Amino acid sequence: MSPREWISLVLLIAGAGFYLAGTMGMLRFPDVFCRLHALTKADNLGLLLICSGLAVLAASWQTTALLGIIWLLGLIAASVSAHLIARHALREQQSARSQSDNIR
């Protein structure tokens, strides 16, 4: 294997490791916020590592640029959806708390 392939292999395995850890976190962590915390790491860094692993092998700079755009789009979508889920969960919690304060 050429050094290029070795670099790519290391990056891809590291990326897959982040995804594995993120998935395990999502399955094992107790509440929404912890799970989001685990998941966003996989989305950010895992995707970055996989994209750069592929970019190292890419034949043209166009492919590299596309991989960069894919990472950025994934990053934007993941961070906004994580923010929305967390906000929703927080509001649910607050409304549940205020309801139990008001006694049934």
Partner 1 sequence: MSLAVDLLIAAALIGLAVQIVVGGVLFRAIVLFIVFGLTMALAWARLGAPDLAMAEAAIGAGLTGALMLVAYRRLIEINPDKPARTERRRSVLALPVAMLASALVAMIGLAAIGLEPEPGFAGRAVMDELEHTGLGNPITGVLLVFRNLDTLLEIAVLLAAFAAARAVTVPGASPLPLSHRSQSPLVGALLAIIVPMTVLVAAHLLRVGGHAPGGAFQAGAVLAASGVLLSLTGKLVPSAETGPLLRLGLLAGLVGFSLVGLIVTGFGLPLLAMPGIWAIYAIETAMMLSIAVALVLLFTGSAGLRRGAD
Q: Is 103 left (phi over 0), alpha (psi -120 to 50) or beta?
A: left
Alpha-carbon separation of residue 99 from 33, 50, 87, 92 (angstroms): 21, 45, 18, 10
- Closest distance between partner 1 and the C-beta of residue 56, in Å? 20
- Closest distance between partner 1 and the C-beta of residue 75, in Å? 11
| Residues forming the site for partner 1 (CB under 8 A) | 73, 76-77, 79-80, 83-84, 87, 91
- Closer residue to partner 1 in complex, CB, 14/75: 75
- Closest distance between partner 1 and the C-beta of residue 95, in Å? 11
- Closer residue to partner 1 in complex, CB, 79/97: 79
Of the chain, the end-to-end C-alpha distance in Å amounts to 69
